[in-house]
Amino acid sequence: MSDYELVIAGGTVVTASDVFRADVGIRGGRIAAIGLDLKGDQRMEADGLLVMPGGVDTHCHIEQLQANGGADEESWASGSTSALAGGTTSAVTFSNQFKGRGVLEPLAEYHRRAKAGAMIDYGFHQIISDATDKVMFEEIPQVIASGVRSLKVFLTYENSFIDDKGFIRVLAAARRHGALVTVHCENYEAINWRTAALLAAGHVEPKYHAWSRPSMIEREATHRAIALAEMVDVPIQVFHVSCPEVATEIARAQARGLKVWGETCPQYFVLGAADMDRPGFEGAKFMCSPSPRDPAASAGLWDMIRMGTLDVISSDHSGWGYMSPVGKRIHGTNAPFSDIPNGVPGVGSRLAVLFNEGVTKGKIDLSTFVRLTATNPAKLFGLAGKGTIAPGADADLVLWDPTKKMTITNELLQHVIDYTPYEGMEVTGWPVATIRRGEIAMRDGKVLAAPGSGRFMARAPYDLIKPTGRLPFGFDASAYQV
């Protein structure tokens, strides 16, 4: 018997801080050693390959329940197949609340579904859309204590929208019980006002999605979210920042010592509002919120990445099939833009698109890529043992060929959604194997893991999201059940 069950031999190990040649020895699902000439029962040659932490995607909509029953088309089985095919080994998805209902019951159902189907390790963000006394004071403490240590609010969207009062109550609950709050920042009333006017003007095609939600309405909501979080003194992450003017609000908050973080997604680097301006219904494929902007905004986002203002890149994988009757065309192909479901698939393409745009094109280095896609998301969301290559960490790895040229097709991504907004994109750099807790879960595009082999990542309290202790007039209003 050797010292290790599996040795990844001769690869170039990339961590958040270093790039070096070494073998990685794995035992009991964890990294047991990083060194030279390690001997194992099984050996994988990684000569010429990068050995990076498996991707950690902290913003994915998978098998999300729908108000009228049923769930998203992207199931745990298909969503994790796509994740593993693309080099991602863990994800934080969502447990949704429907207005007028509680959160404990749906959370149990999300657990049941993930336990049965997941092949990647998973956690949940608890969405709150109805901050009733019962939910805030009875249920949320239990949800957080169970290891769901992040709450999510939408400042827009008809079914999920929460007003400032509800948002403040969510922030207060997060402070009381030790959770991070993630926020979809867009101004609900402003979008509704512009949408009504666009429809009145007969502007119904997909391209008007971008017109309905220009960047200042994202900036306004971001500014407001930060100010309210500052008042309550609770850490937040601003989800899917689409442009530098929004990131600038985050930079200002960070400069005054607030615990405010910013996330962005590959679609904001490679898609734009112009993609929605295609003949017929085709533009629906590119509709997500906030709206992709323009090339100048994309270029500016790279600056915000390099400055460290935005430090997590997730996929916001949100699958609505293009031809599917319950997908983008659920209300028909003549539906106005405001009736077309928002979101683009991306859990499988996140790493490849970002590697090509960032590393291959020389905008970021390898360690920055690892920080953005694995190390920072794991740290920010308290995913112990994830996102790094170090002795004792979970052996979640992706073996990456940085020279492999591929043309992205939907088939390669292996999700259930019938399209990708990146169809035909040529990329350099591609995952050749994915290892999840020491098990070879994908090799040469073939996913080998079994449904149900993913584990729930219960998140314990952690220091990064402790409040700063800076409260207006030193008064902690969150201590009262109001």
CB of 25 to Zn ion, least distance (A): 37
Residues interacting with Zn ion, by CB under 5 A? 316
> Which runs of E-coded beta strand occur in 150-228?
150-154, 180-184
- Return the number of the residue (154 or 419) whose C-beta is nearest Zn ion: 154
Of 93 and 298, which has the nearer Cβ to Zn ion? 93
Side-chain half-sphere exposure of 464, counting CA atoms within 13 A: 19
5 or 186: CB nearest Zn ion: 186
- Taking the complex as a whole, the smallest distance from the CB of residue 372 to Zn ion amounts, in Å, to 17
Q: Which residue has the tokens 């009736």?
A: 339
Q: How far is the CB of 60 from Zn ion (least distance, A)?
A: 8
Tokens of 10: 């001769």
Min separation Cβ 118 and Zn ion, Å:
18
Residue with tokens 């601003």: 238
Q: Which lies closer to Zn ion via its Cβ, residue 311 or residue 316?
A: 316
Which residue in 55, 35, 44 sits closest to 5, CA to CA?
Answer: 44
Is the separation of the CB atoms in 49 and 93 below 8 Å? Answer: no
Using CB atoms, what's the residue nearest to Zn ion?
A: 316
Q: What share of the chain is helix, strand, coil (3-state, %, to 5)?
A: 35, 25, 40
Smallest distance, Zn ion to C-beta of residue 10, A: 39
C-beta closer to Zn ion: residue 94 or 302: 94
Residue (63 or 316) nearer to Zn ion, CB: 316
Pairing of strands 180-184, 236-238: parallel
Contacts of 469 (CB under 8 A, 6+ apart): 233
CB nearer to Zn ion: give 230 or 316.
316
Exposure b/e, 311-335, CB count within 10 A at least 16 = b: bbbbbbbbbbbbebeebbbeeeeeb
Closest Cα to residue 353, out of 88, 92, 143, 131?
A: 88
Q: How many C-beta neighbours within 10 Å does residue 18 have?
A: 12
Least separation in angstroms between residue 236's CB and Zn ion is: 15
- State in angstroms the smallest separation of the CB of 134 from Zn ion: 26
Phi, psi at 56, each rounded to 5°: -115, 110
Toward Zn ion, which CB reaches closer, 76 or 400?
Answer: 76
Minimum Å gap between C-beta 342 and Zn ion is 9
111 CB burial (10 A radius; 0-12, 13-18, 19+): middle
